[in-house]
A and B are shown apart, each in its own frame.
Chain A
Amino acid sequence: GENVEQHPSTLSVQEGDSAVIKCTYSDSASNYFPWYKQELGKRPQLIIDIRSNVGEKKDQRIAVTLNKTAKHFSLHITETQPEDSAVYFCAASPSGGGADGLTFGKGTHLIIQP
């Protein structure tokens, strides 16, 4: 089955700096890669996603890049703010479209230092 590795497990950055979280996946058939943000005790919420026919996608301060050849994708957050502090999860869809569920990385705890 699919295996998703996520790094780092904890990331501390100064407010205003950029943060980058990286994930690798194992199943070359995967074609959907979402990123979720989870605040303490809350539900995960989708912040951005990318499909395999696109190399990069941007939404204001958040961007995701995908390298299908190397089987890795990354989340980039620019101009970080205190409200960006949370746990971020990457995921991959082994069957395409997420129909068979998602395989998640173990998460990155992002800490924004004032």
Chain B
Amino acid sequence: EAQVTQNPRYLITVTGKKLTVTCSQNMNHEYMSWYRQDPGLGLRQIYYSMNVEVTDKGDVPEGYKVSRKEKRNFPLILESPSPNQTSLYFCASSDTSGGYNEQFFGPGTRLTVL
């Protein structure tokens, strides 16, 4: 089954404790990205990656890091989480051929930083 998986689905942590949210896709997609979703603000892109070893900042990259060492994986790293990073996070991937690019989303990770 074609899918994007994220782990964990729920995470409660404390300020300053480094964490990683994993994202993996099994569709051989080149493009992957991370979003956060907050009430009233819609989806905001954090980082994206056009292919292995190619990453770039989205609209709200501060406080986040990413890496793309393999095509299928795109982890999101919070080196020193703060309460304002409490949010619902989504990973997405898409093919870059064919003229249009449907986004495939993971199920989301709800993060609470105390």
Answer whether A and B are interacting partners.
no
Chain A interface residues (CB < 8 Å from chain B): none
Interface residues of B (CB under 8 A from A): none
